[in-house]
Amino acid sequence: MENKWMLRAVFVLAVCLTRNLTSGHGDRTSLDSNKTPHSPDPKEKLEGSRNESFEVDSMVTLLCTSRKIIWSEMIYVIWKISLKEKNCSIAVAVNDPDFNTCQDGKIIISKGGNYSLIIPHFSTKDEGNYTCDVSYHAGGYVETIYASAWAGPEKTGWLEVKGGHTFAVCEVQSFPAASIHWETPWNFSLTETHSSRDARGVFTVTSRLQLPQNASHKNLTCVATDSHSKWSETRLTHFKFIDNSVKWHFILLGVCATCSIVTLLTGLYIMREKVGQLSVFKKICCSSQICQPPKEEKTPQPRDTEEVEPYASYVQRVNSIYNSSADLFNA
């Protein structure tokens, strides 16, 4: 009897323990399901790399990361630039002053939580590695971008005659340099190719093909190829002779314009000389008039009455004598 009670007690205890374990496991499963995905350690930085290609002379915007980070969460952004000719850095920080050791127009702009590097005129000298190091309160990113340049192709073709031979010329401007070959209806060809490079780093490859005597240029094809992904092959099939005739109407126009200018300048010079002579003569006349002392105006002298009225004066004297004689006899 006691053994039965003991077995029952053990069975009840086992059932209770089984229920408690089951409940605890369910609670743990519920907690695990409510956990958020693992977030990176604030000191841990995600790393990445990519390749990008840009056209020469274009304005380039290098985006560091697609994640938008507001300025209040930001600590710093550093662009480390490694080029063929130099290494430099550009940085902005919340608690430190900004600095830019590139001094070639590259700047960092912040727009909508993105911190991008601006290259105003991308050239072959700007090819290299651009590493963006972003640190913010929740973590950070390190992104390395290899930027390469490409240009063209810009192709031109013409025909020219030198030394009694006709040449077809094919010229291609591109970066990297293009390879040129000809497709002709005849089996052999004499070609001459040379290359040059401008200040931007763009190559100009020129190929000259000597045509056989009495050969037609209508079936010629210049083929330019390049291993760059932006363009692989381009063809040129239209060739025309260069107009080397002298433009006589432009020459006559230049001569007429030169003669007109010379005539005008000569007339102005002659007029200037005449005006100068007149001014000198005027100065001499004026100076002579100024040097001569002014003439003194003589005051009119009173004339003798007898000179003016001789008869009246004579009659007056005779009358005075006659009156004096009459007064004497009357006395």
What element of type H or E holds 322? helix 310-330
Of 223, 209, 235, the C-alpha closest to 180 is 223
C-alpha pair distances (Å), 261 with each of 88, 103, 122, 247, 268: 56, 49, 47, 22, 11
Could you give the angle at the alpha carbon of 196 between the alpha carbons of 212 and 184, nearest 5°?
25
Give me the amino acid identity at 111: K
Whole-angstrom Cα distance, residue 149 to residue 24? 63
- Listed as ranges, residues in the chain with pLDDT below 50 are 1-2, 20-42, 245-246, 291, 305-306, 308, 329
Extended beta strands in the chain, E state: 46-55, 60-62, 74-83, 87-93, 99-100, 107-111, 114-119, 128-136, 139-162, 165-175, 179-183, 190-197, 203-210, 221-225, 233-236
Q: Which residue has the tokens 């002659």?
A: 270
- Rounded to whole angstroms, the Cα distance separating 156 from 176 reads 17
Cα 237 to its chain centre, rounded Å, is 35
Whose structure tokens read 């007109």? Answer: 260
Q: What is the model's pTM?
A: 0.56
- Max CA pair span of the chain: 227
How high is the pLDDT of residue 251?
72
Please give the Cα distance from 205 to 193 (Å, whole number). Answer: 7
Residue 27: per-residue pLDDT = 37
DSSP state of 110: E
The count of residues in the chain is 331
**Tokens encoding 28:** 């743990």
Closest CA to 72 of 116, 132, 136: 136
- From the list 208, 202, 207, the residue with the least C-alpha distance to 173 is 202
CA distance 222 to 155: 10
Tens of pLDDT along 67-86?
888 888 999 999 999 999 99
d(CA 207, CA 307): 123
Dist. CA 204–CA 14, nearest whole Å? 91
Pair 217, 236: CB distance under 8 Å: no
